[in-house]
Structure 1
Amino acid sequence: MSIRSEWKDFGDRWAVLTLYQRFEQVVTIALSLLLILVILAAMWNLFLRVVVGLVLQGSLDPTDHQVFQAVFGSIFTVIIALEFKRSIVVSIESHDTVFHVRTVVLVALLALLRKFIILDLEKTGAGTIAALAFATLTLGGIFWIIRQQDRARHAPSPPSPDEPSSVPNS
């Protein structure tokens, strides 16, 4: 599609939106732009950390636990921001102003995974680790339930007993 036709499609969709739907679209676009800035800043920070640590200082040793935590924590920060940005773009493209719960749960699971990666086990109490594990299991369960509901909603429904069968009787 050309930019002109996309802009025309946007204008056609915009014309039929209510005032509140227009407000939601503007907020969604503003959030998207802010997330682009956050992603660029996170990428710049990651780039500096790797280049300065590896090239200039020669101290970026991936076998060092603290270096591993710092670098992969930064990588997961970028991944989380990208996934969140993607969920916003999908809501704009699908003309759906409601974020899907599945995406929010997925982003929360990614954030917990990042937390587990950067967690210093020597300084973290067992209660904190147990709480994080419980939160992970709970979010995993919620994600599974949502996925099962989506599968059931999109599965073809069996024919009702009142409908004639397409299989001939023999």
Structure 2
Amino acid sequence: MNERSRHPSWTHEIAEKIRKAKLYNLFEHLIANILVLLISFIVIVALYKLGEDVVNLLVSRAFDPLKHETFQTVFGGIMTLLIAMEFKHSILVVTKRQQNIIQVKTVILVSLLALARKFIILDIHALEAAKIAALALALVALGAVYWLMRERDAWNMEHGRQEEG
């Protein structure tokens, strides 16, 4: 055997790397599609549960949006749906190959939605002030990070640079 047949050429190595990358992309695409299906199922179940809660409140004539408990039930369910749909949307972006990974801004946005939901369903009488302050601080910090990232993106667009992540 000669030296060339024992050591693959650099073109063969590149071709092998491309083949492996395509296999991984297919795997990633499959996982993303499975996640979309699972989250879609969760959205359907959450929508059903929300509808059931609203109907039960209407039938029992207890549907008074000014009551804190009713407000918590209805808007807590709505926020849960919004969070799940935002997750699904961020995964759909990946499956459509508009981006390779979930963007940090999306994760921060979903976190902001989750904290907003927490404040909506929060029973202020059952939680210590320090925990409420910690949640508020987390909300402000995430909001500041999201705002800074938007400013960075605007600056990058203005100066013709690509987004870094």
1:69 aligns with 2:72: yes
Q: Identical aligned pairs, as a percentage? A: 41
After alignment, is 148-157 or 61-70 more displaced?
A: 148-157
Partner of 2:151: 148
SS in structure 1 of the partner of residue 49 of structure 2: helix
> Displaced runs of 4+ in structure 1, greater than 4 A?
none
Structure 1 unpaired stretches of 5+: 1-14, 158-170
Q: TM-score, normalised by structure 2?
A: 0.81
Deviations 1:53-107 (A, max 9, x none): 10x2112221111111111000100011111111111222234230011011000
Q: 1:105 aligns with which of 101, 105, 108?
A: 108
Query: What is the aligned residue count?
Result: 142
Structure 2 unpaired stretches of 5+: 1-18, 161-165
Query: Which residue identity lines up with residue 57 of structure 2 in the other structure?
Result: G
Partner of 1:119: 122
Query: Which residue identity lines up with residue 18 of structure 1 in the other structure?
Result: K
Q: 1:24 aligns with which of 22, 28, 44?
A: 28
Query: Which residue identity lines up with residue 25 of structure 1 in the other structure?
Result: H
Tell me, in whole angstroms, the C-alpha distance in 2 between the residues paired with 1:42 and 1:144. Answer: 30
The offset of 1:156, in angstroms, is 3.8
Deviations 1:92-128 (A, max 9, x none): 2234230011011000000000000100011110111
Q: TM-score, normalised by structure 1?
A: 0.79
Partner of 1:87: 90
Tell me, in whole angstroms, the C-alpha distance in 1 between the residues paired with 2:20 and 2:48. Answer: 40
